[in-house]
């Protein structure tokens, strides 16, 4: 009986381990290959050496990748776009949710219904007309008013700031906060903005983390289609689109692996450190309906 249970537990662990290999091997392979010269990299693919840091290891691939493309600039662009969008999103989505949950104002139900309706509107369905729209929008710059947002940071930031999901997550969270706190602060003469800043937001750590992680993944990882459409100039290109420099290189796999490692490892470290928060944020997208 105990032996039988031990065998079953063993079998379970073997299965878990086997599946883990399927998920983790390609990632290990990517990182290991980035340190190997192309010839060795190709030879290693036929054995387990592909997953091991063996042979002639160097940073040459990294040096060559940096020579081929302005990677530093791309990293800066992506980080700047992601950070700006993230901060604006946290502020605007939370303050809107605050108004939806705690304040009674005329038109609230209509506005909320419209916001919720956009949840089923994937960005892809508006990308093409949006291209025409942003091509005709004004912008105030040092040279006065200019027209057209193509090739800029704002074209990659402003359309992405607010999504229905973020407002929705804040609304769900605020609804569970004790209303007495808000009412007590109002009786004490606090303005709505003070209630938002001093009472509600300090209690909202978990939902802020959730929205921040989802937004980070959306902006850093998934900005590809839109920048391809609106950014031709290298100066504003984000890191995922920068990968196009390596598309045609079917032979220089070492360089490609180095670039992939550069853009992925920071996210992986981030994930491994904040693992619980990442998983909780994905789980929270499922608590609807």
Partner 1 sequence: MANSLTRQNRAGWLMAGPAFALIVVFLILPFFMAVAFSFTNQRLVSPNPTEFVGTRNYERLFGIATLTLEAERDETGAVVMRDGAPVYPRLRGFTRDQERYPQYFRKREWFSFERAGNRRTYVLASDVVFLKAVRNTVLFVLVVAPVQAGLALGLAMLINRRIAGINVFRAIYFMPVVISMVVVAMLWRFIYDGNDGILNNLLGAMSFGAMPPVDWLGNPWTALPAIMAMSIWQGVGFHMIIWLSGLQTIPASLYEAAEIEGASRWQTFRYVTWPGLRNTAILIMIIITMQAFTLYPQIAVMTQGGPLDSTQSVVFQMVERGYGKQDIAGGSTISVFLFLFVLSISLLQGWLTRQRP
Residues 6+ apart with CB under 8 A from 192: 98, 102, 103
**62 or 159: whose CB is closer to partner 1?**
159
As beta bridge partners, residue 139 has 146
**25 or 142: whose CB is closer to partner 1?**
25
Output the smallest distance, CB 58 to partner 1, in A. 19
Output the smallest distance, CB 203 to partner 1, in A. 17
- At residue 202, the 3 state secondary structure works out as helix
**83 or 111: whose CB is closer to partner 1?**
111
**59 or 133: whose CB is closer to partner 1?**
133
The dihedral region occupied by 55, where left means phi > 0, alpha psi between -120 and 50, and beta the remainder, is left
Instruction: Look up tokens 């139900």; give the residue.
Output: 109
Output the smallest distance, CB 204 to partner 1, in A. 15
Output the smallest distance, CB 12 to partner 1, in A. 7
Residue 90 has phi, psi (to 5 degrees) of -60, -40
**142 or 272: whose CB is closer to partner 1?**
272
- At residue 272, the 3 state secondary structure works out as helix
44/66 Cα distance (integer angstroms): 24
Task: Give helix then strand counts, H and E, for the chain.
Answer: 15, 2
Output the smallest distance, CB 125 to partner 1, in A. 4
């Amino acid at each position: 009986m105990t032996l039988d249970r031990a065998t079953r537990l063993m079998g379970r662990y073997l299965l878990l381990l086997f599946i883990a290999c399927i998920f983790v091997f390609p990632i290990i392979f990517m990182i290991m290959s980035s340190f190997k010269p192309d010839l060795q990299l190709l030879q290693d693919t036929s054995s387990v050496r592909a997953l091991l840091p063996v042979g002639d290891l160097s940073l040459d691939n990294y040096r060559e990748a940096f020579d081929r493309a302005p990677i530093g600039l791309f990293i800066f662009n992506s980080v700047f776009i992601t950070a700006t969008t993230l901060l604006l999103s946290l502020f605007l989505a939370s303050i809107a949710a605050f108004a939806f949950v705690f304040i009674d104002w005329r038109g609230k139900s209509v506005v909320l219904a419209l916001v919720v309706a956009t949840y089923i509107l994937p960005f892809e369905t508006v990308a093409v007309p949006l291209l025409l729209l942003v091509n005709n929008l004004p912008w105030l710059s040092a040279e006065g008013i200019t027209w057209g947002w193509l090739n800029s940071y704002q074209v990659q930031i402003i359309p992405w700031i607010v999504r229905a999901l973020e407002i929705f997550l804040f609304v769900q969270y605020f609804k569970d906060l004790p209303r007495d706190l808000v009412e007590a602060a109002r009786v004490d003469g606090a303005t709505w903005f003070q209630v938002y800043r001093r009472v509600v937001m300090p209690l909202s750590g978990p939902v802020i983390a959730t929205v921040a992680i989802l937004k980070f993944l959306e902006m850093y990882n998934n900005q590809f289609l839109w920048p391809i459409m609106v950014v031709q100039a290298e100066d504003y290109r984000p890191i995922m689109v920068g990968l196009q420099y390596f598309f045609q290189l079917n032979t220089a796999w070492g360089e490609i692996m180095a670039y992939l490692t550069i853009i992925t490892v920071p996210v992986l470290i981030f994930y491994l450190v904040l693992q619980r928060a990442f998983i909780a944020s994905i789980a929270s997208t499922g608590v609807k309906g």
